[in-house]
């Protein structure tokens, strides 16, 4: 029978320690990569929602050009041509979650106490002919009286609030104050203020 020397098994122990270290490093790298991928995806969805909200504002402005009198628009039942059904009620978003327009309108009104009214709502991809735009955003635009209206005699003003909803809970909001004033026998629309909002 041979006697064990004090160095027997040292190579095996060193190899096991090196494998454990490599496994720990690989696990840390994998977790970091997964986290960074999720962060990048959330950031990308947020940017997409920001531009979707901006597109909703632009679409609402186009529809506002056709409305001759803004003075009581926030109280009237006028709506945009960009709607996907009756106002209020649930809508199914791209990722299968639901959005209740009535509940969102209630929350917007409670947010700053303004009497916001639903004006435009629908999937961003429906703004253009089929196949022209691929987006996962659902856009809602509310209209409200401008707190500073009217600015000058002959001018009309109002506020728009757009929110875009997307996958993974992504949401962005924009608030715009518009003024319409006489320009060469027609009425031009001027963006008075624009901010990413509440």
**Residue 186 confidence (pLDDT):** 63
With beta carbons less than 8 A apart as the criterion, state whether 190 and 171 touch: no
pLDDT confidence band for 185 (50 / 70 / 90): low
Identify whether 35 is part of a domain: yes
Domain that holds residue 73: 21-196
pTM over 0.85: no
In the prediction, which pLDDT does 79 show? 81
Residue 10 in any domain: the answer is no
**148 falls within a domain:** yes
pLDDT at 21 over 80: yes
How high is the mean pLDDT of the chain? 85
Confidence band for 17, pLDDT divided at 50, 70 and 90: very high
43 inside domain: yes
CB count, 10 Å around CB of 36?
10
Which position has the higher pLDDT, 44 or 72? Answer: 44
Domain count of the fold of the chain: 1
94-149 per-position pLDDT tens digit: 888 899 999 999 999 888 778 889 999 999 988 877 777 788 899 999 998 876 65
Instruction: Look at residue 100 and tell me if it is in a domain.
Output: yes
Q: Is residue 75 part of a domain?
A: yes
Residue 55: predicted pLDDT? 93
In a domain, 48, yes or no: yes
Q: Is residue 99 part of a domain?
A: yes
Q: Which residue has the tokens 């962060």?
A: 39
């Amino acid at each position: 029978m041979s006697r064990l020397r004090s160095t027997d098994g040292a190579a095996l122990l060193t190899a096991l320690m090196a494998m454990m270290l490599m496994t720990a490093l690989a696990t840390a790298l994998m977790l970091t990569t997964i986290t960074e991928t999720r962060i990048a995806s959330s950031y990308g969805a947020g940017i997409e929602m920001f531009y979707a909200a901006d597109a909703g504002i632009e679409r609402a402005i186009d529809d506002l050009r056709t409305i001759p009198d803004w003075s009581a628009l926030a109280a009237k039942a006028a709506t945009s041509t960009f709607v996907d059904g009756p106002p209020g009620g649930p809508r199914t978003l791209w990722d299968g979650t639901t959005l209740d327009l009535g509940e969102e309108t209630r929350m917007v009104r409670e947010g700053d106490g303004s009497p916001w009214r639903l004006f435009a709502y629908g999937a961003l991809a429906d703004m253009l002919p089929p196949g022209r735009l691929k987006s996962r955003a659902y856009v809602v635009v509310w209209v409200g009286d401008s707190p500073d209206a009217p600015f000058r005699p002959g001018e009309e003003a109002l506020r728009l609030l757009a929110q875009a909803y997307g996958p993974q809970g992504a949401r962005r909001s924009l608030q715009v104050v518009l003024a319409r004033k006489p320009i060469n026998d027609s009425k031009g629309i001027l963006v008075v203020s624009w901010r990413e909002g509440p």
